[in-house]
Chains A and B, each alone.
Chain A
């Protein structure tokens, strides 16, 4: 069992980056304190000693390979879907820039 208590602000900042959450400094500090308490409580899970040879449950209902007939069905109209997007252009979702300028030049 890793040491649960005492999660640092730097660790929270790292987790926030992994989670794609831009957090203010005061949020990071508050989260570090709260997560320390919560992890201290949930670390109790390590006390369950008879779990060692038990298979994990990922789902309440064991179902596998659920398939449906391979038939063409109508899909949502593109305009209706794009109407909910923050920005759309030419029948597509418009996203912020994903390549640096030099990448664009390289590929041109």
Chain B
């Protein structure tokens, strides 16, 4: 175990705190010091809650809360409500807003003794693949500060990669946990839709949004998954069933027993055009490694996956255009132009015109178009039918294999600014991650090597409510090929 408290895994830290080798307050302070030392260059955090973190750590040390992650620090994506602590969703619309309640995810973390260090940077309203759409400026990739950390949860992934926190929570609507994990060399999991409560998660696309864990090891991700998952009556789409045995599966995968008998499908449609050569090479090697671990590998075809991106960019903006109607300048956040001479409608339009950034406006207008009379059937209606076909592709693939694999992101981290002028190029970052969101099944990205010195992610996809399969396969892969360690050369 490292003597540097910030280099330890969550599991090691939890054991050390439980064994009284170190106090939770010391662990929290070490991470707060780390954030103070490096975050001016990374900008992973929008808000650091030192006081709240140290108070929670003191509660753990006093024995008031216990559990498998008691005292472990965590970075929380700024899309999840935290009572009394700023929650901006990366937008000027909610600058300075302090929620009057905790999201269910937040409440479960607190009840488990997890120490929330602060809120992490993100593309505004989780719309983006680079964090460059944050109204507060981008996050920088710890592997290369001139490059993007992925998005929308780039802050959470960068915080974990740069040892500012061993754990983070992200949210994934089209890849916002997995693509950042891929390009920062960390682990990110989108649980089964409905597996983790959306109560208190500021909504982007309600039929797709799902919170999940970010970590540096598969076991750590599983431990966090187990804390935040489970039925919640406050979310009507929450699944009322036991949480899949993710921690047991991670331990089983790491035990060295291999993957004999496990059937792995390589998705033909998630390769080739649009995927960088270096990414494809690492992915092919990863597939060979799975074969070497005893898995039975075959190619499978999911013929409608090629339409997933188009379906997503009709469905998600449509839902967003409806969801974001709540930002009307009345109940929370910004209000612009209310000088007594203007009507409610004028004030609402001015507030939204000023409060939302370019990408959010683009998606609201796109969604309004897709839902408008005359276009509804051809766009939104057709996209929902294609969503059914994509789900059927998954269902028939899972009759042949236990899990599917693909590259998690089509490229390594690209330079900041590279795709800002071309929204479509940015959208294509989610080529491989979107199908699982449309289907609802769980998916993980974990590191499978480097290309040009930058991390490449392997994506594993499983059937709905079989999240444990990701952890079994992921842990076996990780044991055979440990994740690359970022050089952090900018520190010296």
Contact = CB atoms under 8 A, between A and B. Distances in A.
A107 interface: no
B365 A95 contact: no
A5 interface: no
A56 B382 CA distance: 8
B378 A1 contact: yes
A84 to B, nearest CB: 5
Interface residues of B, number: 75
Nearest to A93: B330
* Interface of B (DSSP majority class): helix
A2 B365 contact: no
A61 interface: yes
A51 B331 contact: no
A59 B239 CA distance: 13
Interface stretch (B7-15, B254-262, B338-346, B453-461): B338-346
Interface string A1-22: 1100001000010011111111
A37 to B, nearest CB: 6
B368 A18 contact: yes
A54 B338 CA distance: 48
Contacts of B354: 22
B389 A76 contact: no
A44 B307 contact: yes
Contacts of A97: 340, 342-344
A46 interface: yes
B24 interface: no
A96 B344 contact: yes
Interface in A42-101: 42-48, 50-52, 54-61, 63, 66, 68, 76-77, 80-81, 83-87, 93, 95-98
Interface residues of A, number: 58
Interface in B28-44: none
Given A18-B372, A38-B424, A41-B310, A56 B385 contact: yes
B347 A15 contact: no
Given A19-B368, A41-B424, A35 B362 contact: yes
Given A21-B353, A50-B389, A57 B100 contact: no
A12 B365 contact: yes
A7 to B, nearest CB: 8
A17 to B, nearest CB: 8
B362 A45 contact: no
Nearest to A56: B384
A21 B344 contact: no
28 contacts: A12-B365, A15-B368, A19-B364, A19-B368, A21-B356, A22-B346, A22-B353, A34-B362, A41-B310, A42-B310, A42-B379, A44-B310, A48-B386, A48-B389, A51-B389, A52-B385, A59-B237, A60-B193, A61-B194, A61-B237, A66-B236, A80-B100, A81-B100, A84-B97, A86-B338, A96-B342, A96-B347, A97-B342
Interface of B: 97-101, 193-194, 207-208, 233, 236-237, 239, 304, 307, 310-311, 313-314, 321, 325, 328-335, 338, 340, 342-350, 352-354, 356, 358, 361-362, 364-366, 368-369, 372, 374-375, 378-379, 381-389, 391, 423-424, 427, 437-440, 464
